[in-house]
């Protein structure tokens, strides 16, 4: 069997990244898939889907990563996007309070739309805050944050997607 066919037969898992504008969803995906980062903010229009094969517990899994265009609190993500999704990551920006003050409500909404039980919560741009400031943010956020990441400095990005992958298999 050639490589292409192998890839095609591999199990594909659909995962979504959601969260406000500018929190770094696209950047996290770029870092994870292409190992690139750019300071420019190029607003994502429409849904872009990236593929990456990961190995989790000795099993190769093809992640179909949906970068859902920036949404904000009063904009609903179309339910159709979640069809067949195995996991979702909610990304917020640790340096912008408005991206996490309504975290609880946003998460509830995502859970309702996706039917998923657990959503991976990621606080991005940790490079912008000091350790102390990060602690303050962690305290402010009422829910358990799974990972604090920096797409810019490539910190915990891999781990965040691994956590997401783990969710797809549950």
Partner 1 sequence: MIPAKIENVFIQVTTDYTGVITNIIAGKFAINEFILQELIYDSCPFLEGTLDALSLNETFLLEGMVIFSDEKEFNVDIELFKHEKSIDVLIHNRTNVYKIVDKLNQNRNDIFFIKREIAEKNIELEKLRKIADKANEEKSRFLAMMSHEIRNPLNAILGYAEMISSEKLNTKVAKYTKTLASAGKNLKVIVDDILDLSRIEAGKLALVSEQISIKKIVKNCKNDFKHLKTNEDVALVFSTSKKIPKFVLGDAVRIHQILANLISNAIKFTNKGSVKTSVKVLSETETEIKLIFEVADTGRGMSKEQGLKIFEEYQQNELNDNRIHGGAGLGLAIVNRLVKAMHGKVYVKSKLHVGTSFFVEISFAKTSKIVTSFKQKVIKEKEVNLKGKNILVADDDVLNQTIVAHILKEEEVTTTIIYNGLEAFAKLKAATFDVVLLDINMPNMTGEELMQQKQDFSSLNANTPFLAVTANTAKEDVERYLALGFSGVISKPYTKADFIQKIKTVFK
Ligand X SMILES: Nc1nc2c(ncn2[C@@H]2O[C@H](COP(=O)(O)OP(=O)(O)O)[C@@H](O)[C@H]2O)c(=O)[nH]1
List interacting residues with partner 1 (CB under 8 A).
8, 12-14, 21-22, 41, 43, 45-51, 62, 64, 66, 69-70, 78, 80-81, 83-86, 96, 98
- CB 55, min distance to ligand X, A: 25
158 interacts with ligand X by CB under 6 A = no
For position 50 contacting Mg ion by CB under 5 A, the verdict is no
Q: Choose among partner 1, Mg ion, ligand X, none what residue 24 binds, the Cβ cut-off being 5 to 8 Å by kind.
A: ligand X
Rank residues 124 and 167 by Cβ distance to ligand X and give the closer one.
Answer: 124
Residues 20-49 that bind Mg ion (CB under 5 A): 25-26, 44
- Binding residues for ligand X, total number by CB under 6 A: 21
How many Å apart are CA 71 and CA 65, to the nearest integer? 17
Answer for which of 71, 116, 120, 125 binds ligand X (CB under 6 A) is 125
For residue 101 the two structure tokens come to 């003050």
Q: Using the minimum distance from each CB to partner 1, give the nearer residue, 1 or 45.
A: 45
CA-nearest of 134, 165, 144, 158 to 58 is 165
Please state, in angstroms and rounded to a whole number, the distance separating the CA atoms of residues 97 and 120.
19
The two structure tokens encoding residue 169: 């298999």
Q: Answer for the pair 100, 141: CB distance below 8 angstroms, yes or no.
A: yes
Residue 84 contacts which entry, ligand X, partner 1, Mg ion, none (Cβ below 5-8 A, type-dependent): partner 1
Non-local (6+) Cβ contacts of 10 within 8 A are 53, 60, 61, 62
Q: List phi, psi (to 5°) of 136.
A: -60, -45
Q: How many residues does the chain have?
A: 170
Chain position carrying tokens 């909610």: 90
The smaller minimum CB distance to partner 1, of residues 78 and 159, is found at: 78
Interacting positions 58-77 with ligand X (CB under 6 A): 70
Please, which residues have CB within 8 angstroms of residue 117's CB and are 6 or more apart in sequence? 111
Provide the binding-site residues for ligand X, judged by CB under 6 A.
Answer: 19, 21-27, 38-41, 44, 70, 124-125, 127-128, 150-152
């Amino acid at each position: 069997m050639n490589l292409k066919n192998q890839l095609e037969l591999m199990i594909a898992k659909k995962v979504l990244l959601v969260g406000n504008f500018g929190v770094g969803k696209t950047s996290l995906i770029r870092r994870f898939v292409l190992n690139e980062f750019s300071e420019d903010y190029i607003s994502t229009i429409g849904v872009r889907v990236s593929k990456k094969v990961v190995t989790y517990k000795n099993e190769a899994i093809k992640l179909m990563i949906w970068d859902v265009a920036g949404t904000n609190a009063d904009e609903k993500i179309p339910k159709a996007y979640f069809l067949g999704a195995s996991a979702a990551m909610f990304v917020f920006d640790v340096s912008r309070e408005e991206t996490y003050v309504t975290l609880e409500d946003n998460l509830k909404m995502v859970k309702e739309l996706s039917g998923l039980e657990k959503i991976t919560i990621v606080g991005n741009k940790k490079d912008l805050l000091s350790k102390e400031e990060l602690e303050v943010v962690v305290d402010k956020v009422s829910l358990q944050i799974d990972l604090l990441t920096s797409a810019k400095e490539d910190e915990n990005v891999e781990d965040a997607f691994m956590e997401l992958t783990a969710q797809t298999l549950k």
